[in-house]
């Protein structure tokens, strides 16, 4: 499905950024009181706004949501209804997208060194949903698909030799792990066309592309446009296509230039000028051969500022070097600060007790203090921020960690045998539990007697 098929959205109607200060503090406090902490809150209305802004910026393009950013069922349904396709990184994500109502024609599975059971599963799905597309970034992956009898829609993933992103660990373009090297991609795509229906080419620069990295994005897009023209050229080097040594032109449907559109995390960081990025993308890829659409696959942009993580202060510890504020959410709930030194804005919503046992003053009446906010995990790196000025936290305060809707719950783990947090979805103001809080029994559920007879090789599908 293309963005053009979806209900025509009005460009620029919603603000292009939602800051942690824009959330209704009383509502968040009520949700924390009702559901406990740590608690993710994901606002589906904001998800819809972000989808509409993307569709408006890329009219006529295929806009695919990178499911890995947030796989929650309610989010997937909202994205589906908004008219985006689903880009899935694993059999599990394909499974979730199917369950959320994406048909095969809206499913794109990007296989990265795919485990055998993922390929088995996806090839099985493709038998029922032949419009599903598999994006493959290695000839071995293509061979393994063919070995399973797959001869359906394939997109060839290219390593464009240029990348971007907020941290070296998330710069994908140029990383040898992803895609077929650019100078071998044309031959690989033509060879693939002898075994599959090659419908597209794909490259992804990386995640969290900042405004100052747009040149890399543009370069990637230009290279992909050039490759699309080369592959579809009916008259390569003036020779007769498909005759003698001249390669037959491919009938591509699209050139997918990936996702990675960044969002502002710091309070004073300007938002990405999405219409300008879209315009630069269209210019760089042009001219696209007739019948070849542009495709993009953003994840973060759709969900990041639609989510906050609520966490309660349980310890305040002045030390000679720093003031440590202990909270009940840690790297097992939100890994990004520990893994990438990522910045997430934090707002003190108050509600704690003063030293006299009475209600502490409202946060705006307190002075700002530089603090380290640290979680309950037995790792030194388990901090949500260091040396950050917050309205002086006291025990019992509620903190809202902003821009937590992308790669937040998704990267949560049970390390230290900590159950994963709960998540509440807000839909037109109504809150429902989208993912219940895990219990200790969930942490040990795979090692209980009744599961011991299951073969360890089965993924449980």
Ligand X SMILES: Cc1ncc(COP(=O)(O)O)c(C=O)c1O
Ligand Y SMILES: N[C@@H](CCCC[NH3+])C(=O)O
List the catalytic residues: 378
Q: Which is nearer to ligand Y, 336 or 418 (CB)?
A: 336
For residue 109, give the nearest of 200, 231, 173, 226 by alpha carbon: 200
If one counts every other C-beta atom within 10 angstroms of the C-beta of residue 321, the result is 7
Helix axes 274-285, 214-232, angle to 10 degrees: 30
Question: Least distance in Å: CB of 147 to ligand X?
Answer: 24
Binding mask 102-121 for ligand X (x = CB under 6 A): --------x-----------
Q: Which is nearer to ligand X, 207 or 383 (CB)?
A: 207
How far CA 292 is from CA of 60, 98, 224, 295, in Å, comes to 11, 26, 12, 9
169 within 8 A of 191, measured Cβ to Cβ: no
Binding mask 147-186 for ligand X (x = CB under 6 A): -------------------------x--------------
Of 40, 261, 265, 409, the residue at the interface with ligand X (CB under 6 A) is 261
Q: Is 259 in the site for ligand X (CB under 6 A)?
A: yes
The bridge status of strand 180-181 relative to strand 153-159 is: parallel
Interacting positions 86-105 with ligand X (CB under 6 A) = 87
Binding mask 200-229 for ligand X (x = CB under 6 A): ----x--xx---------------------
336 is in an annotated binding site: yes
Binding mask 285-304 for ligand X (x = CB under 6 A): ------------xxxxx---
Question: Least distance in Å: CB of 411 to ligand Y?
Answer: 6
Position with the least CB separation from ligand Y: 407
Query: Segment contacting ligand X (CB under 6 A): 124-132, 257-265, 283-291, 409-417?
Result: 257-265
Question: Least distance in Å: CB of 254 to ligand X?
Answer: 14
Q: Which is nearer to ligand X, 260 or 375 (CB)?
A: 260
135 within 8 A of 111, measured Cβ to Cβ: yes
- Say how many residues touch ligand X, by CB under 6 A: 17
Q: Which is nearer to ligand X, 259 or 351 (CB)?
A: 259
- Look at residue 336 and give the partner it binds from ligand Y, ligand X, none, a contact being a CB closer than 5 to 8 Å depending on partner kind: ligand Y
Q: Which is nearer to ligand X, 262 or 363 (CB)?
A: 262
C-alpha to C-alpha distance for 412 and 318, rounded to whole angstroms: 29
Count Cβ atoms within 10 A of the Cβ of residue 22 and give its class: 0-12 exposed, 13-18 middle, 19 or more buried: exposed
C-alpha to C-alpha distance for 332 and 383, rounded to whole angstroms: 11
Residues linked to residue 323 through DSSP beta bridges, in sequence order? 318, 371
72 is in an annotated binding site: no
260 is in an annotated binding site: yes
C-alpha to C-alpha distance for 207 and 75, rounded to whole angstroms: 20
Q: What are phi and psi of 73, to 5 degrees?
A: -55, -45
Where along the sequence are the contacts to ligand Y (CB under 6 A)?
A: 68, 170, 172, 207-208, 336, 407
Q: Which is nearer to ligand Y, 191 or 339 (CB)?
A: 339
- Binding-site residue ranges for pyridoxal 5'-phosphate: 260, 297-300, 407
Residues that bind ligand X (CB under 6 A): 66, 69, 87, 110, 172, 204, 207-208, 258-261, 297-301
- Binding-site residue ranges: 260, 297-300, 336, 340, 379, 407
């Amino acid at each position: 499905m293309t963005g053009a098929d979806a209900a025509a959205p009005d460009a620029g109607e919603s603000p292009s950024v939602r800051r942690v200060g824009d959330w209704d503090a009383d509502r968040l406090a009520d949700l924390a009181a009702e559901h406990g902490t740590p608690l993710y809150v994901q606002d589906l209305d904001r998800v819809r706004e972000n989808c509409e802004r993307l569709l408006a910026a890329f009219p006529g393009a295929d806009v695919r949501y990178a499911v890995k950013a947030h796989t929650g069922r309610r989010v997937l349904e909202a994205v589906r209804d908004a008219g985006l396709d689903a880009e899935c990184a694993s059999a599990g994500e394909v499974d979730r997208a199917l369950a959320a109502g994406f048909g095969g024609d809206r499913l794109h599975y990007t296989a990265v060194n795919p485990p055998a059971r993922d390929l088995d599963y996806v090839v099985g799905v493709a038998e029922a949903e032949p419009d599903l597309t598999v994006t493959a970034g290695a000839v071995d992956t293509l061979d393994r698909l063919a070995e399973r009898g797959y001869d359906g829609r394939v997109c060839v993933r290219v390593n464009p030799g240029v990348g971007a992103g907020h941290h070296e660990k998330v710069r994908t373009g140029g990383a040898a792990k992803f895609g077929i090297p650019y100078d071998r991609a044309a031959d690989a795509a033509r060879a693939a066309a002898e075994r599959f229906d090659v419908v597209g080419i794909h490259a992804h620069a990386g995640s969290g592309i900042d405004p100052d990295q747009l040149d890399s994005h543009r370069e990637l897009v230009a290279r992909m446009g050039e490759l699309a023209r080369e592959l579809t050229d009916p008259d390569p080097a003036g020779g007769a296509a498909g005759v003698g040594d001249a390669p037959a032109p491919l009938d591509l449907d699209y050139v997918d230039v990936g996702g990675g559109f960044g969002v502002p995390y710091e309070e004073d960081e300007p938002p990405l000028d999405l219409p300008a990025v879209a315009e630069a993308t269209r210019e760089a890829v042009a001219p696209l051969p007739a019948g070849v659409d542009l495709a993009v696959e953003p994840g973060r942009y759709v969900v990041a500022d639609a989510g906050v993580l609520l966490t309660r202060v349980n310890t305040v510890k002045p030390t000679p070097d720093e003031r440590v504020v202990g909270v009940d959410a840690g790297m097992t709930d939100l890994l990004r600060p520990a893994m990438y030194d990522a910045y997430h804005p934090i707002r003190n919503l108050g509600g704690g007790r003063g030293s006299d046992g009475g209600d502490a003053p409202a946060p705006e009446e307190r002075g700002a203090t530089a603090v380290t906010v640290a979680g309950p995990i037995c790792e030194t790196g388990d901090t949500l921020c260091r040396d950050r000025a917050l309205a002086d936290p006291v025990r019992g305060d509620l903190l809202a960690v902003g821009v937590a809707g992308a790669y937040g719950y998704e990267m949560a783990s049970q390390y230290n045998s900590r159950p994963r947090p709960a998540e509440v979805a807000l839909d037109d103001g109504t809150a429902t539990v989208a993912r219940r809080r895990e219990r200790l029994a969930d942490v040990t559920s795979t090692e209980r007697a009744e599961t011991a007879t299951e073969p360890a090789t089965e993924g449980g599908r």
